[in-house]
């Protein structure tokens, strides 16, 4: 079953599990469940999921998001929840922003420039890098910001990652809310978020969400810093 999609700007996340050959079958199964859980959480947060996560080739996956502004929050959540599993589970992610022309039941078989960009971002990702972005008119600051986020997240321990995944929820979620969700003391949660550099990652998420993403063209929303205008 397939369906046509509007040409609205979308974000496609394409990933593969890091070191999957060294993971146990249980760890891979847990990773797949985590991907599905992240997609469900994103929907609860108001993120429009067009399809997926579709798992293919054993360790590869793809998720289609209808509003491209969500691409970094979604990517960070997915990695945080995978790292939170322990056992060395993690993923690389290639992000593509552009048009989606057709969504198939198996998302990896769908059509549109966003899918092409996402696959290219993953395939051309430099070694020892965990994030990459591609779009028709990407500003020069995107991949450097992603690289910095990747360096921070690469160092997360499972408990830090679980705290980050909870604190990433949009809105006015407090550290007390995060502590209650995890069954921890507020001071413990604060320690995890501070030591992990989470607040710097959250600033990057909010920077991305402060831009309009249309057909891979990025325009600053009114009130943003002039330094964040698109490359041209």
Q: Would you say 92 and 40 are in contact if contact means Cβ atoms under 8 Å apart? A: no
**What architecture is the 2-228 domain classified under in CATH?**
2-Layer Sandwich (3.30)
**Tens of pLDDT, residues 32-58:** 999 999 999 999 999 999 998 999 887
**Tens of pLDDT, residues 97-122:** 998 888 888 888 888 899 999 999 99
CA triple 106-112-218, angle to 5 deg: 125
Strand segments, DSSP code E, in 60-216 are 60-65, 91-99, 102-104, 131-135, 211-214
Higher pLDDT residue, 127 or 219?
A: 127
CA distances (Å), origin 40, targets 44, 60, 67, 76, 165: 6, 19, 15, 15, 13
37 CB contacts (<8 Å, ≥6 apart)? 81
Which pLDDT band holds residue 12 (cuts at 50, 70, 90)?
A: very high
Query: What's this model's pTM, rounded to 2 decimal places?
Result: 0.88
What pLDDT shows up at residue 6? 44
* Alpha helix ranges (H) inside 8-137: 25-44, 71-84, 113-123
Return d(Cα 218, Cα 27) in angstroms, integer: 38
Collapsing DSSP to helix, strand or coil, 202 comes out as helix
How distant is the alpha carbon of residue 210 from its chain centre? Answer: 16
Q: List, in sequence order, every residue forming a beta bridge with 55; answer none if it has no partner.
A: 61
Rounded to 10 degrees, the C-alpha dihedral 36/54/76/25 comes to 70
**Tens of pLDDT, residues 118-159:** 999 999 998 888 999 999 877 889 989 999 999 999 999 999
């Amino acid at each position: 079953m397939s369906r046509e999609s509007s040409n609205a700007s979308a974000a496609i996340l394409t990933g593969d599990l890091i070191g999957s050959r060294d993971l146990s079958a249980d760890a891979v199964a847990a990773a797949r469940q985590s991907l599905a859980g992240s997609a469900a959480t994103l929907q609860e947060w108001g993120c429009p999921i067009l399809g997926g996560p579709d798992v293919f080739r054993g360790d590869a996956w793809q998720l289609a998001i209808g509003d491209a502004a969500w691409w970094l929050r979604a990517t960070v959540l997915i990695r945080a929840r995978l790292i939170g599993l322990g056992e060395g589970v993690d993923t690389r992610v290639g992000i593509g922003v552009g048009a989606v022309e057709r969504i198939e039941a198996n998302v990896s078989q769908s059509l549109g420039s966003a899918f092409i960009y996402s696959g290219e971002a993953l395939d051309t990702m430099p070694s020892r890098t965990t994030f990459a972005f591609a779009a028709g008119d990407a500003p020069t600051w995107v991949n450097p910001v992603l690289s910095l986020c990747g360096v921070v997240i690469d160092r997360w321990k499972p408990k830090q990652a679980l705290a980050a995944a909870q604190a990433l929820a949009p809105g006015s979620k407090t550290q007390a809310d995060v502590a209650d969700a995890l069954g921890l003391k507020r001071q413990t949660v604060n320690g995890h978020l501070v030591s992990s550099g989470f607040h710097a990652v959250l600033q990057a998420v909010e920077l991305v969400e402060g831009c309009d993403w249309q057909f891979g063209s990025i325009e600053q929303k009114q009130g943003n810093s002039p330094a964040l205008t698109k490359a041209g």
